[in-house]
Amino acid sequence: MSPVLQADDDTLEGGRRAVAKEDTLILAFDDNRLLAELFGEHDEHLALIEERLGIEVTPRGNRVALHGPAAAAETARQVLLALFEKLRRGARVDLGEVEGQLRLTRSRLQAPDVAGDFSIRTKRKVINPRSATQRAYMAAMKSHELVFGSGPAGTGKTYLAVAAAAAALAAGEVDRIILSRPAVEAGERLGFLPGDMKEKVDPYLRPLYDALYDMLPANLVARGMTDGTIEIAPLAFMRGRTLQRAFIILDEAQNTTPQQMKMFLTRLGERGRMVVTGDPTQVDLPRGVRSGLVDAIGLLEGVEGIAHVKFSRSDIVRHPLVMRIVDAYDRDSRSTSRPEDQD
C-alpha cells in the first residue's frame, strides 16, 4: 500500500485522500518501520525540507503535517512520497538523496511535460537523477552515441557515465568498458613514479576505479580487468585503436589538447558509445594551450548523434559546502581574470 493524504472531507483521488486545509496537507504513511529512515536522524531530513521550501513539517506518529504556501507544501508532499517509495523498494535515503529529490521535484513541477524513466540500474544499485540536468544527461546517454558532460566538480558527470557504462555492459548492449583520462598533473610536479605501467598510471585513474567499484561487485571488476571486459588506460594508449561495441569514457577531458581530443573521438567504432566529461574552468594544460574539450564542444555543436549537457553550480550533489566553495572561487576568478587568461 501507499501513503495517503488525509483531509476532513474524506474525498478520494486515485486511492489517496487529498485536500488542503488552508495551506496544510497531512500525509499518513502505512509502514511505520520506514519512517525513521524517511525522517532521518533527529528528523534531519524533515528539517532540510523545511529549510529549502520555507514550510513547517510536523511529524506525529505515522502522520506528517505540511504547513506553508500551497505550492511549497505540494512540493514537500511529492518529495516525501517519492522518498517513501524509494525506501519501500529497498533504496537508502540520506541527506544527499533528500536534497536531490527536492531539486528534481521542483524542476519537474516547473516542466511537467518531461516524463520517462531516467534511472540507471547496475549490479549494485539503482541510480536516480538528482537534478533536471542529471536527468537530461542520463537521457542523452541513452539516446546518443557521443555525449559531452561539462561543468563543475560534484555534479555527477563521471559517476553517472560509469553507471551508464556498467548498465550497458550488464544488458549486453556493449561488450566492454574502456575508461580513460589524460595523465596531466593538477598543478603539482609528481616526479618519477615507481612500478610497472599500471602502477604508474593508477593515481591518475583512481576516481574511475572508485566509481566502478560502486557500480559492480569487486569480483566482477577484478574478473573484467583480467579478461579485458573492463579496461582502464591513459589517453596516450588510445592512439591507433578502433573500439567496437565498447562504452568509452574520457574523464578530465579539459586537460586534452585539440589534437588529443580529435584522436580520442575518432576511436569510436561500430555499435560503440562514448561519454566525454570535464570542467572547462579547471584546465591544467600549459599556459596558452587551448583545451580540447572546449574546442570539441564548439566544433561539434549541432552534429547529429552528439549531445552536450552543461552542468552548473546548482547541480552540485556533494556536500552543500562544495557549492559555496565553487561560488567563492568563481567570484575570485571573475574579479582577478585578465584578458589573456580567458578562453
37 pLDDT above the threshold of 50: yes
Whether the predicted pLDDT of 267 surpasses 80 = yes
Dump the DSSP string for 231-275: EEEEGGGGTT--BTTEEEEE-SGGGS-HHHHHHHHTTB-TT-EEE
pLDDT computed for residue 183 by the predictor = 72
Q: How far apart, in whole angstroms, are the C-alpha atoms of residue 212 and residue 124?
A: 10
| CA torsion through residues 228, 231, 237, 238, sign | positive
For 147-157, the pLDDT digits (tens) are 999 999 889 99
pLDDT tens for 3-16 read: 444 433 333 233 33
Rounded CA separation 130/99 (Å):
8
- Among the listed residues 40, 48, 124, 42, the one whose alpha carbon sits nearest the alpha carbon of residue 84: 40
Q: pLDDT of 145-183, one tens digit each?
A: 999 999 998 899 999 999 999 999 988 999 999 999 887
Any idea where the domains of the chain sit in the sequence?
Answer: 4-110, 120-341
Q: Which fold has domain 120-341?
A: Rossmann fold (3.40.50)
Taking alpha carbons only, the member of 134, 19, 36, 32 closest to residue 77 is 19
Whole-angstrom distance, CA of residue 256 vs CA of residue 278:
10
Task: Please state the rounded mean pLDDT for residues 223-231.
Answer: 92
For 259, 261, 313, 316, the CA distances from 331, given in Å and listed in that order, are 32, 30, 12, 17
The H or E element that residue 150 is part of is strand 146-150
- 309, with CB counted inside 10 A (0-12, 13-18, 19+), is buried
- Nearest Cα neighbor of 214 from 161, 154, 272, 250 is 161
**Mean pLDDT across 63-68:** 92
Could you give the C-alpha distances from 289 to 26, 57, 217, 254, in angstroms and in order? 59, 53, 40, 11
pLDDT higher than 80, residue 108 = no
Residues 299-334 pLDDT 10s: 999 898 899 999 988 888 766 676 678 778 777 766
CATH number for the domain formed by residue range(s) 4-110: 3.30.1370.10
Q: Quote the pLDDT of residue 340.
A: 42
